Amino acid sequence: MTIQENIPLAPKTTMRIGGTARHFAELTTKQDVEEAWKFAKEKNIPLIVLGAGANTVFADGTIEALVVRILAQEIEVSGNTVRADAGTILATLVATLAKRGLDLSTLAGIPGTVGGAIFGNAGQGPQGVWIDHYVQTVTVFAGGEWKTLSKDECRFSYRESVFKHWPPPVPPILWKITLTVPSRAADDIEKDITMLLRKRSVAQPNFRTAGSCFKAQPDGTPAWKLIEAAGLKGSKIGDLQISDKHANFLINTGSASFDDLLKTVEKVRASVTQPLHLEMRLIGQDGRAIS
């Protein structure tokens, strides 16, 4: 594993905002993971794990941390049991399994990696199916050792997992995920995937955004409804726009800054009566998540 210095982070995220990582490494083996963990520990700096960056936005300037990107992408299938590396692109997993008559179509259209999906328990919305539905175990490197957590130990709920609440500075690195995936006719699975992708392309923007900014309310009310009712749909701060297609999606229309993003989040929160919790991961210059 090579540790690089001062690497730009904006190109590694879908929203294309952010400064540079003081230290950056790509991890493909278990040994890389152990070395990265040791590096962060010895330097006493935060370690930030990045999948495809579809839900993460970094602050401008230098992020004083080791940012690692997980590149391991192996998929193993045995009957209905599927083992996928955390760096596997979720869409690749969904499509690969569909060809074999294994149905993960409920997760079609969600950008990012399997690791990112497990971290945030990705799914189609508060009433939809989330990835935890399929999880058997998750193997992580945490506290300097390899551990395999059962589904219960992962404490999944709507957009939540135990991994989101691990004490800083060095969070667990998710490495291998074992799923149980039900069988169905490949053609039917493909049809559902196509239908879901079409639905998304009509309802959501998918360029220079990090997906939903805020979580839905505990009663299931989607955040976009509240933002739209507050009259903010389509409004702009700098180059940061509240999408006019879907009011819970923020778009970088050019060279939006992290500050534009924070101001937009504050503006939305000030305009909506209900408390709004962030779904996106915003990482400050100190390497910590902003909530």
Residues assigned a catalytic role: 159, 212, 279
Q: Please, what is the minimum distance in Å from the beta carbon of residue 238 to ligand FAD?
A: 20
Query: Rg (Cα) of the chain, in Å, rounded?
Result: 19
The C-alpha atoms of residue 258 and residue 284 are separated, in whole angstroms, by: 9
DSSP state of 164: G
Q: Please give the C-alpha separations between residue 256 and each of 183, 263, 269, in angstroms, as whole numbers.
A: 44, 11, 19
Task: Find the shortest distance in angstroms from Cβ 15 to ligand FAD.
Answer: 8
Q: By the criterion CB under 6 A, which residues form the site for ligand FAD?
A: 14, 48-56, 70, 86, 110-113, 115-117, 119-120, 122-124, 173-174, 204, 206, 209-211, 281
Nearer to ligand FAD, 115 or 222 (CB): 115
- 148-158: b (≥16 Cβ within 10 Å) or e: ebebeebebeb
The nearest distance, CB 120 to ligand FAD, in angstroms, is: 4
Taking the least distance from each CB to ligand FAD, the nearer of 101 and 169 is: 169
Tell me the one-letter amino acid at 134: Y
Q: Closer to ligand FAD at the Cβ: 49 or 102? A: 49
CB of residue 257 vs ligand FAD: minimum separation in angstroms? 19
What single DSSP character describes residue 89? B
Which pair of tokens denotes residue 135? 């999880």
Whichever of 209 and 257 has its CB closer to ligand FAD, that residue is 209
First to last CA, the chain: 32
Using the Cα atoms of residue 282, residue 286, residue 287 and residue 288 in order, give the sign of their dihedral. negative
